[in-house]
Each structure stands twice: as C-alpha cells, then as structure tokens.
Structure 1
Amino acid sequence: MTSLDDIPVTQLKGVGSALAEKFAKLGIHSLQDLLFHLPHRYEDRTRVTPMGRLRIGDLTVVEGEVMKSDLVMGRRRSLQVTLKDDSGFLVMRFFHFNAAQKNQLAEGARVRCFGEVRPGRAGYEFYHPEYQVNPPPMPADGEATLTPVYPLTEGIQQPRVRGLCQQALVYLQRYPIKDWLPPELLSDYQLPGITDAVQLVHSPPASAPVHLLMEGRHPAQQRLVMEELLAHQLSLLQVREQIQAREALPLLPAGDLVQRFQESLPFDLTGAQRHVLSDIRQDLSQPVPMLRLVQGDVGSGKTVVAALAALQALGAGAQVALMAPTEILAEQHYRNFQEWMTPLGIQLAWLSGKVKGKVRRETLAAVASGEAQVVIGTHALFQDDVQFQRLALVIVDEQHRFGVHQRLALREKGVGGALAPHQLIMTATPIPRTLAMSAYADLDTSVIDELPPGRKPIETIVIPDNRREDVVERVRKACLEGRQAYWVCTLIEESEALQCQAAEATAEELVERLPELKVGLVHGRLKASEKADVMDRFKQGELDLLVATTVIEVGVDVPNASLILIENPERLGLAQLHQLRGRVGRGEQASFCVLMYHPPLSLNGKARLQALRDSQDGFFIAEKDLEIRGPGEVLGTRQTGMMQFRLADFERDKGWIEPVREMAPSLMRSPVIVEGLIRRWLGERIRYGDV
C-alpha cells in the first residue's frame, strides 16, 4: 500500500530537480518528510494596520497605493517604493529585484504587504516584505487564519514552502500518516491522531485558539512535541542497546592497588564519592558494559573517583584509556595520574595529535603490547592505528564535547575487538535533571553532590570595566601578599588567533603596569610543552599572575590562587563562568572572583551575572543557564545535531520529559515502532550505528 513516505517531493507542482536538491539538504525527500518540516512559529496577518499607527519592531500587514517608485543609487542600489493610506505612508525597500517587479510596483498600484517596521532615511521602512498587488479582500473576522512560518534553507522562499505544504496536505486526505503510538496512550493524554495533528499545524482553521498556537501549546502541537521527544529518547536507548549487546570483561576487585592508593591520599573520601564508587564497582564487576555518567560540581573530586575506577580495572589485569577534549585538560589528567600511579608501579602513556614520528611509534607499540597500562590523551586515542591489548575501561571527561557516535566508536577498541569496554563518563558541568534525563537517556547517572571539607565559598564581585584601575590595584595587592591570581580574557569572535592576540596585549599591559609581579601567559596557540611549562611555573609559585584565554576553564588546580578576574563575562555562558570561577577557592584563604563587564548589559546579561553572584551551586546555575540559553547551548551540542528539536522547546515542554521517559522502555520492545519514530523525526541526522 502506497504511503506518503513513498511519494517523492517531485510529484508536487513546481518541484523540479534543482528544488528537490535544495530540499534534500533539509533531509526532505518524500511528501511525509515535507509535512514533518513543521512551522516553528506563526504570524498573525489577519488585520491591516493603519500606517499612522505603526511602531518600530511591529510585524504587521499594511495596505495602500503606490505614491512613487524610485531606483536609489546609494552604497547599494535599491528599489524604493512609497505606499500611502489615509493615515500616513511607508517605504518598501528591495535590494534584490528585477524589471518585472519594478513595473508591477508602478505608481497607482494597490499593494498589501507584510514585514517588520524599521527606521529608515525616509521614515518607516519594510525591507523585502512579502507583498501582493491588487490583493483580494481581507477575510472576515471569523474566517481569518494564522500564517505558518517555516525553517528555510538557502534558495527557498517562505511563500514557496507554504504553497508546497498546502499541496502536500491534499495528498494527506488519501494517504493518512502511519500512527506509531498506541491509541490508549493518546486517549490517556487526550491528544489527537497524527494525521489530524499534522493537518492542523500546517493549516490552522479560523476557529483554532490563536494564543495556544502562538505559544506552541495547542494539543495538535503538543502531540507532535511529545512524539519528537519520544523519538530522541528512543534513539539514545537504541545506542545503549547497541553498546550493551556486546559482552564486557567483568572487572572483579582484586589485589591491593585500591587500598594502597587510598592510604596514600592526604584526605578521606567524601560520602558522595564513596556512594558513587560503590555504583561504579558494582557496574564494573558485571559482564555487561558499564555506561555511567558521573556529574560533579567544580572541585567535588571526580578525578579521584576516576583513578579508583581505573585501579579496579588494573587490578583485574586490564588496560584503561582516559580521553579529554582538550590538550590542556588531558595533560592535567596525565600529570595527576602520573603522580598517583607511578609510585604503585603502573606504566602510563601519553597520546595526542601532536605526538608524532618515533615517539608516536614507540607509544603505539607500548599500548598494543599492553606494557602501557593506562593511556591518556585527546580523541587521538580512537584513531584506527591505536590498538590496545586488553582495553576494558574507557574514561571520558567532559563528554558533552564529544558526540554520541564517539561512544559507539569505542566499542571496537575493546578486548580483542569482541568485548566492549566499560565506559565511565565524567562532567564538571552540572546538568539540570530534566536535561540529563533527555540528553543522556543512554547512561546511568551518579552525582557527586558534596564538596570536600574545607572548601571555602568564593565571593563574586560584578563591576563595570571603567573601574579597571581599581581591579589592577586589587591584583597587585593580592599578589604582593603572597597569593596568586588569574586574569582571563574572553573575546566574542570565534577566531582563536584574535583571542590569543587579545591575551597577549593584556599580558603586555599588565607587565608594564605591575613591574613588581611575575606575569605568565597561556593561550590556545602555544605548543603543548610551552603551555605545560607556564602552568608548572604558576603551580610552583614562580609566577604571580597568569593571563589566559578560557583554555584554563577546566582541570587547572593551583591551591594558592585565590583571585580570578574575568573580562567581558557577559560573552560567556553561565556554566563556563562557573567553571572558571572554580579555578580559585581550592586552598585555605578566602577567594574572590571579579566579573568585569562592558556596559551596558542586556537584561539577559544582568540575569546571568546576578545568578552567578547569588549562588555557588552548579546545579542551580545550570538550571538558570538552561532557562536563559536553551539546551543546545548548555550541552555544547550545537554542532552535533543532538537536541536540535524541530518543534519541541525544552523549557516550555519539560513537563513531557518524565512521561516520555516512562513510555520509552515498553515501546523499545517493538523495533518497528522505534525505527518508524526515529526515521520520522531524526531522519538521517543521527544514524549512530553507521559510524
């Protein structure tokens, strides 16, 4: 039986091969794909606004007569069309136009147009508005409907998508969409069937409640939202199943490595660390691969937990790999593990993209023979030429910097390629519970929610950058009293080169203004060895002040540093600021974080800095960050395709997370439903199994 999935978009009038190619970039091949390219908002074009009542920023419809139509030769040639009605006038401006348009918009023509009111040289203007010449009468009050607005790709205009979706809806009458959800589930939540929901969302009737549609809360939208969240949840559970379909080597606690290590530590583990370790020990002793996420706030002691997990694996005669997203963080782990494990007679190896030639060949040989028991590095660890002898545990730090597919790639590196390694994933970015339930549905989660005793709260001060003099003096005073300080430069540009230049210029300025202090500089363009050298000198107390880009965000531990200054904090996310702040407060003395912003601050910027000043609790800060910036930003997954929802809005729709989580396991028993939903909502964007 034919379905909408079998009918190509080229069946629609006006879709040739060129347009079909553009649609393919959006993952749209069939009519069903097109109908699941959903409007992400609506515009209310049901009323004409008199031109005399327009305000800047209004999105509105105006209608009038063309007074004049001129070609204007400014910096860019434009067509300037002046419309008038009984109350005033408005300019329509087109930078891209053709002769037919110019003739169509001649003096005396009647035009209705829709756009955003902007200030212009000649008064209020619309840039490139949608317009109709000699428009039909406006629908009567009871007949007017909202206009859907679709996400676009280059070369496809809004009216075109709208028209094609209306054409596709005609097919919907003959070929209903397959409803994957059980009818009892829909009736429990009083939600419409899938065909009715899709029909309404593309073409809301005049009687539909406008405010619900505008807010995304109409039952038809919520039906689709729930299904989309469910598809994401199922795709992650599928990853978990794929990984756990292979056996793992059970790592039963053996030998005295764990005990000897704990006796060598100058502190006792916290209750939270012991609790998390008990979860990990239990997982590691099973023949099923562990998939555990350990969340812990800055300074909660995740690295010690990772070391103890590694020692359990080493005691069972296995190899361990630890992967971090940046060289600086990987180096920090390498140094910590070296300090802890070399006295226990354990051989470590270091592997990053910068390890080349003979050293690389020797390291690869040590890893392949099993001589290197713990291998630490960046994602270079998972290149094809890295062969392990008996890899049974992989520790991944700051997992959200890597894609889910990299977790699947690890499967191939296990013992003999047949057994999957256990995976311990750590993050110092506390993740709001709702987000963790959705984004990490493939993982079991443990939280280290207790800081070691003696960690002092950090006082956070927010000041404008016109008080730079005072801040420089504060740094001088702190360093002359024997403490150390960080000065963090942030730049809005993505260019690493510009960030490094800014840090270099700041370091030069501070060397000049603070001649009595020893100033160091760290940024992303230094060689790994140079960075390590500067960091070592800072750690040993040979440098008073360290100027850095955000490369010091994670993993740097200098107990004597008690002051951190962050320039332009409004350019960073809350979680990142919280991470940076966590570089201080690691010793005995009172610590301070100074956020020096450039006024004026946006309301958003004020809310973020206020949240940081009010709280030291990473989980509270993460919740705030989620409210302000959305899930893609908080998880750092803008690039990975994950959490890029078509219709769901994490903040608005978080009430669905718990129900969706409860529904998913029973649906997993039906592979046809799982595949159907994942194909419908994620299409080819996330094909985890193919990596």
Structure 2
Amino acid sequence: MTELAQVPVTALKGVGEALAEKLARVGLENLQDVLFHLPLRYQDRTRITPIGALRPGQDAVVEGVVAGADVVMGRRRSLLVRLQDGSGTLSLRFFHFSQAQKDGLKRGTALRCYGEVRPGATGLEIYHPEYRAQQGDESAPVEQTLTPIYPTTEGLTQQRLRQLSEQALGRLGPHSLPDWLPAEMIAQYQLGPLADALRTLHRPPPNTDLDALAEGQHWAQQRLVFEELLTHQLSLQRLRETLRAQRAPVLPPAQTLPARFIANLGFQPTGAQRRVGQEIAYDLSQPEPMLRLVQGDVGAGKTVVAALAALQALEAGYQVALMAPTEILAEQHFLNFSRWLAPLGIEVAWLAGKLKGKARAAALEQIAGGTPMVVGTHALFQDEVQFKRLALVIIDEQHRFGVQQRLALRNKGIDGRLSPHQLIMTATPIPRTLAMSAYADLDTSILDELPPGRTPVNTLVIADSRRLEVVERVRIACREGRQAYWVCTLIEESEELTCQAAETSYEELSAALGELRVGLIHGRMKPAEKAAVMDEFKRGELQLLVATTVIEVGVDVPNASLMIIENPERLGLAQLHQLRGRVGRGSAASHCVLLYHAPLSQLGRERLGIMRETCDGFVIAEKDLELRGPGEMLGTRQTGLLQFKVADLMRDAELLPAVRDAAQELLARWPERVSPLLQRWLRHGQQYGQV
C-alpha cells in the first residue's frame, strides 16, 4: 500500500488544479498533510434537542414544522420563520434571503436545522441556521460523530475539507501511515496508536469528552502533541549536532588581559559573573563551537561577562564581533568597549547599516584587515563583510535574530572552515519551559545576582488624569539633584507618530518645567545627535530626558532615579521591565511611574499589576508568556518558529522533560526515524534541522 505522504491531493475525488492550489495555501499537498490538518473545534450534531429544552448560547440540532414565515421590517428587513415541535416554538431569522427561499419555507414544511441559539425579540432565535427540508415521514439519520471545524482559507469550505478528510481517513492503515515512534517508546510514555488518534480527532464519537477536547487534554490530542514537541526538539538537536560537528578555533584561557581589564573596571565582578565567565572560558578552549545563551535580569552585568569572553579570543590573536539589534544599543556597546579596550591597546571598529560611502568602505577595509574587536548591528551579517580571523561572535538580544542567521555565521569563520564560537546574551529572561523548547540547541547560563549597590525600583500605576501631579514630582526630584526619563511609547506601531508625540511631550514639559534642562531623543534623529544628547544626560547637564523606547536597552546613567512611562498598556511586560531597568542603577531610591490612559482592559490591569508587584524578570517572563503566548514573546511571529499545529507550550509544558528524554533516546537508538518525523511535521516550517 502506498504511503500517504507520497499520494498527492489530486488523487482525491473532486480535487482539480484550482482546488489543489487553494489546499497548498494551507500546506496540504499530500494525503498525510490532510490527515495532520486537524480540526480547531467541533460541533455536536449527533442528537436532536427538543425546542423546549434549548438554552441560549447552545449550538443545537432541532427538528420541527414551519408554523409561519413572514418578512418583517425592523431596523433591517428579515425573514422570520416560526418552527414548532410540540415542546415549544423557535424563531429562525434570515437577513439575506430570496423569494425562492421564502417559498420553500411555507407552513407545514418539516425542517431539521442547526445553529447557535440566542435570545431574541420573539423568544429564542437562531440566525441563519443551516437547514434542510425533511422528505416524507422518515426522519433522516443524525450525524454519527461530532462535526469537525477545520482551519481554512478563502474559497475552501468546511464541507469540502470534511469530504477530503473523509476520503483520506478511508485510506488510513498501518502501512499507509507508518508510526515513526518505536513501540517501546509508545509503551513507555503511554501513548495511544497514531491511526486511532487521527481517526478520533477527525471524527470524534458522540460520547467524546468535549471539554477535554476543548482544553487539549484528550488522549488523542496528547498523542499528537507529544510527537509534535518531540519533532521540534529533534530539529533543534539536529541543528546543534550540525553546529557541533563543525570545528572551531581553540582559545586557551587568557593569562593577562582579563586581570588588567578588571583592575581598570573599578569594581569586582559578582560571584555569578565569575561562575558564568568560567563556563564560557572552558567552552572557548574546546575545538567545537561554543553555543551558549547567557540570561541575566536587567542590570546583572552581562556586558562585563561578554568583555571577559572577548578578551580570551583577543589575547589568542583572533577577531571578535559583537552584534546588537538596534543602532543605539550597538553604539552603546561600541562606546563601552572602546573605553574598556583602549587602555589595553586594542582597536575597535564600528559597522552599522547607516554607514555609507567612504566611511563604510573604510570600516569594511578595517574588518578585512583584521581589526581585533568589531561592534555593529546585523549589518555585520552582510555578504560583503569579510573578517580576517573571526573566532567569537557575541549576539545581544538573541530573540531578534533567527536560527538561520546563526547558521550563516559559519561562512564568516576562518577561511569559511572554522566556525566562530557563539555567545548569545539576553536581558529578557526566558521562562524555563520556553528555554527548554525554543533554545534546546544552546547551553544556558544564568546571571542570578545583581551587582552590589543596585536598589529595587518602586513602581506606581497612575492614571494620566493626574499628569500634573506627576510633572510636579519630576520637578522636585530634579531639584534634589536627581535625573529622570520621560518615555513616550508607540502610537499604533507608527515610528513617525511616536517621534511627533515625543516632540510634543518635550515642548510641553520644557514649558511646564522652565527651570530644568530637558533633552529629547528619538529614533529619527541621526546617531551623532542621539549620542550627543545621551552624553549630555550622562554628564548631568540635562536633568530630564524625553525619549521613545529607543532607550529600552543598554543605557546606563546611575544618577537617573525616576522614570515616567506614558501609555504603558501599549507595551509587553518584558519591554516595560527593560525600560524600568534604566533606573535603579545607583544608590538612590528609584521610582517608575506607569502613567496609563483610562479605561484599562482586564488584561491591561493584570499586566500593570504584575509590574507593580515584582522586579524579578523571571517572574515577569512567566506571566508574559501566560498572557501573550510564546510566538510573540520570542519575537518570532514572523519567523515561523513555534507555530505548532496541536501543541501549546504553556498548556503542555509538563510534557517537555519527557519529550527531551525521548528525543535523546530516539537520536541514540533509532536515528533513521528522525528524518521522516521532521518531514511529517516541519516540512512547511523553518527546516532548522535540515541544513
């Protein structure tokens, strides 16, 4: 019997070229795809409900006889049909109807109809029910299974998808759809048979627990969830193996530069920084590429750890590239590293997308000539950028870079042969469940200690109707010698409008606080302008800085102890936490005021409440994941990562440890089963594992 993965959808009855094109839009190219295209939800059409027993909000099948059909004129003209079955009367209302339809619903016609029951002007009503007239005295049989509702696209009806899944189910057998999970594993994790799970999910029998299905807890769903999560793990493990199989330059532990760097730093690294530094130093001394993610809460000192790693490569005579997602953060790193490395006699080059003409040509020449330390945005990835001896790449805020880009780094290594080591940093703490799944290709280190002298930030949630009080508070703080940020958030995702809003706030605040020196910084200013304003603020020449969210990461002014965030309800928790991390960097008590615009939604209230209750980035990350979902949190909505068909990382988190074990076991004992699984589940996603 031919495997269903080899049978194109055009082999099904009624599928011509036009329909095949529509099916391809939802990823259905063969019969295996059709079977793994699972319903989103179900309707119960297996029983007929007496009209007298109907409840509002219920989806129901009813049978009755038409007692009358009239066109009524309300706000909209509608056809109102009264249906009776001896237990009560129900109204069927049609806003779109033809004369022929009205004629077909004459008094005495027996009907079976289906739809959602709702309260109406004449008692219970169903708007636009699906219906058919009953012929003769014989009542047609009801559905034998729950009715599936599939994900679809324009021009592809539920009826058509049901017909296709019906045909595909008819061809389902042990040889046409192999179960790639070994029998031992199925027994060990108490998973049911694959074919039975698919049959149950496409056509659940009437006694199926609908609540379990709605919550994703039915055994048939869990069987497929396990397989999908397992495949995702395998793809990342395979990616990891692909990278690990490459060779990397061996960088012996540095003897002199780190000690000189720490002596100039003016403070001792924390215990956590030393521990993570040692883990990195060991990885760099190995002949395969390091793949390490360093997570640290805001202000935990990741940059110092990155500098120590860089010095190990620099002392061994190699190049280091540090990449950041935004120009302002890249500039911040460039200034920091230039300041730190100048006393050690090490040159730092700079490359960003904005560099043009001669300046760009000069930067490219410097990098190709072997300038030891290179800092920039992801412009460093471009083909024309050639390194001389690149041994270490440090990526800040990894979730803005895709897995594919990490793979492309090999081409930047020495002679395109030796792959650079990769150190990935994030100040967005990633919940453990997500890290286990999304970053299974990386080793993880956590900086769980704040440097001494950092004070927790007190967060207040205040309505913008009290704006004048808040402005007064800024005046008092600045008079006492402190500095403040006033952050204007995104307006409808428009950078231009946000910059205008920042300019307006700047003018208003300059006028209201005439005696204070106020600065402005936003994304449309030239890098040199931004740097100059930032520098004035750092030196204490400006007391209040009005800014857009460009200051989200990396800006360090210890004397700034007050932050106002306008419309915080527009931002995710992780971003609010990042912004708040700009204050509380000195010894003064620091405050963050979330100036929201009423009324707040329930979700908005919850999120701002979390910000008020905790300063722990990991707690905030867990909550953010619950409220926003993994795709949005990892910034991967566009990249296809974590677009699961049946699995849900939050709901199915408790399966992850077992899934990880199963992935290791499958790779070790049944490696030949890995590719067919990846082919089945990830053919339309990013094919991480198939590099």
TM-score by length of 1: 0.92
Give the Cα–Cα distance (whole angstroms) in 1 for the partners of residues 52 and 325 of structure 2: 55
Q: How far apart in 2 are the matches of 1:204 and 1:259?
A: 67
The aligned residue for residue 205 of structure 1 is 205
Could you tell me which of 64, 79, 82 is aligned with 2:80?
82
Q: SS of the residue aligned with 1:416? A: coil
Hey, what does 1:235 align to over in structure 2? 235
- Distance, in Å, in 2 between the alignment partners of 1:88 and 1:112 is 11
Q: Pairwise mapping of residues 335-414 of structure 1 onto structure 2 (< 5 A)? A: 335-370=335-370, 372-414=371-413
Contact 1:52 1:88 in 2 (8 A): no
Moved more, 382-391 or 12-21: 12-21
> Which one-letter code corresponds to 2:80 in the other structure?
T
Matches within 5 A, 1:435-454: 435-454=434-453
Counterpart for residue 520 of structure 2: 521
For 1:393-446, what per-residue CA distance to the aligned partner results, in whole angstroms no more than 9, with x for missing partners?
A: 000011011111111011111111000000000000011111101100000000
Greater displacement, 263-272 / 169-178: 169-178
Matching residue of 2:484: 485
Alpha-carbon distance in 2 for matches of 1:417, 1:90? 71
Counterpart residue type for residue 424 of structure 1: L
1:509-541 per-residue CA deviation (whole Å, 9 max, x = no partner) reads 222322222222222222222222222222222
Q: Secondary structure at the match of 1:309?
A: helix
Aligned positions of 1:137-286 closer than 5 A: 145-173=145-173, 176-286=176-286
User: 1:332: how far off?
Assistant: 1.1
Task: State how far apart, in whole Å, the 2-side matches of 1:501 and 1:49 are.
Answer: 61
2:306 counterpart of 1:309: no
Q: CA separation in 2, counterparts of 1:418 and 1:463?
A: 57
Q: Give the drift of 1:155.
A: 2.7
Partner residue, 2:113: 112
The structural deviation recorded for 1:40 is 2.8
**Separation in structure 2 between the aligned mates of residue 577 and residue 101 of structure 1, nearest angstrom:** 59
Report how far residue 382 of structure 1 moved.
Answer: 0.7
Question: What stretches of structure 1 of length at least 5 have no aligned partner?
Answer: none
* Segment drifting more, 187-196 vs 582-591: 187-196
- 1:162 partner amino acid: R
In the alignment, which of 87, 91, 94 is matched to residue 93 of structure 2? 91
- After superposition, residues 574-613 of structure 1 pair within 5 angstroms as 574-613=573-612
Letter in 1 for 2:202: H
CA displacement, residues 185-226 of structure 1 (integer Å, 9 cap, x when unaligned): 111222111111111111111232222222211111101000
Post-superposition offset of 1:174? 7.7
Match of 2:12 in 1: 12
User: Aligned partners of 2:58 and 2:215: how far apart in 1?
Assistant: 18
In structure 2, the gaps of 5 or more residues are none
Instruction: State the SS of the aligned residue for 1:447.
Output: strand
Q: Taking structure 1 as reference, are residues 543 and 3 closer, same or farther at Cα in structure 2, changes over 3 Å only?
A: same
Task: Report the Cα distance in structure 2 between the residues aligned to 1:549 and 1:491, rounded to whole angstroms.
Answer: 8
Q: Quick check: 2:148–2:202 contact (8 Å CA) kept in 1?
A: yes
> Hey, what's the Cα distance between the residues in 1 that align with 2:93 and 2:274?
69
Q: Greater CA radius of gyration, 1 or 2?
A: 2
Q: For 1:89, give the aligned amino acid.
A: S
Is contact 1:4–1:175 with CA below 8 Å preserved after alignment? no
Deviations 1:348-390 (CA, angstroms, capped at 9, x unpaired): 11111111111111111111110x1111111110110000000
Following superposition, the deviation at residue 666 of structure 1 comes to: 2.2
For 1:44-83, list aligned pairs within 5 A.
44-45=44-45, 48=49, 50=51, 55=56, 65=66, 80-83=78-81
**Contact 1:51–1:89 (Cα < 8 Å) also in 2:** no
Amino acid at match of 1:165: S
Q: 1:573: Cα distance to partner?
A: 1.6
Q: Structure 1 426/20 Cα, relative in aligned 2: closer, same or farther at 3 Å?
A: same
Q: Residues 659 and 512 (structure 1 numbering): CA distance in 2 closer, same or farther, change over 3 Å?
A: same
* Larger deviation, residues 36-45 vs 61-70: 61-70
Distance in 2 between residues matched to 1:230 and 1:248, nearest whole Å: 29
Match for 2:547: what amino acid? Answer: A
Bigger Cα displacement from structure 2, 465-474 vs 57-66? 57-66
Instruction: State the one-letter code of the partner of 1:554.
Output: V
Q: Which amino acid in 1 is paired with 2:29?
A: H
- Flag the 1:175–1:689 CA change in 2: closer, same or farther, 3 A: closer
- The sequence identity of aligned pairs, in percent, is 59
Q: What pairs up with 1:666-685 in 2 under 5 angstroms?
A: 666-669=665-668, 670-685=670-685
The 8 Å contact of residues 112 and 135 in structure 1, kept in 2 or not, is answered as no
Once the two structures are TM-superposed, the CA of residue 173 in structure 1 deviates from its matched residue by: 4.0
Shift, 1:476, TM fit = 1.8
CA distance in 2, matches of 1:237, 1:189: 20
Letter matched to residue 493 of structure 2: E
**Structure 1 residues 362, 603: CA separation in 2 closer, same or farther (over 3 Å shift)?**
same
Question: Mean alpha-carbon deviation: is it higher for 229-238 or for 23-32?
Answer: 23-32
Distance of aligned partners of 1:122 and 1:528 in 2 relative to their CA distance in 1, 3 Å threshold: farther
Residues 1:21 and 2:21 aligned together? yes
Report the CA distance shift for 1:578/1:81 in structure 2 as closer, same or farther (over 3 A).
Answer: farther
CA contact 2:44–2:206 (8 Å) conserved in 1: no
1:499 shift after superposition:
2.2
Q: 1:480: how far off?
A: 2.1
RMSD: 2.8
Pair 1:289 & 2:289 matched: yes
